[in-house]
Amino acid sequence: MSVVKTFNKYRNLLVELVKKDIKLKYRNSYLGVIWTMLEPLLTMVVLTLVFSKLLGKGTQDFPVYILTGRLVYSFFSNGTKAALRAVRANASMIKKVYVPKYMYPFASVLSGYVIFLISLVVLAIVAVVRGVYPTLQLFWMIVPLLQILLITTGVGMLLATMAVFFRDVEYLWGVALMLIMYTSAIFYQVESVISEKNAWIFKLNPLYAVIENFRNAVFGQPMNFQAMGYATVFGVVSLLIGVFVFYKKQDKFILYL
Q: Of 188, 161, 204, 176, which Cα lies nearest the Cα of 76? A: 176
When divided into structural domains, the chain yields a total of 1
pLDDT in tens, 227-237: 999 999 999 99
Mean pLDDT over each residue of the chain, to the nearest integer: 86
Range of the structural domain that residue 244 is part of: 2-255
Following DSSP, what letter does each residue of 119-170 receive, concatenated? HHHHHHHHHHHTT----GGGGGGHHHHHHHHHHHHHHHHHHHHHHHH-TTHH
pTM (2 decimals)? 0.89
Instruction: Please say whether the beta carbons of 144 and 68 come within 8 A.
Output: no
Helix H or strand E segment including 49: none
Instruction: Please say whether the beta carbons of 242 and 154 come within 8 A.
Output: yes
pLDDT in tens, 5-41: 777 777 888 888 888 887 777 666 656 667 667 777 7
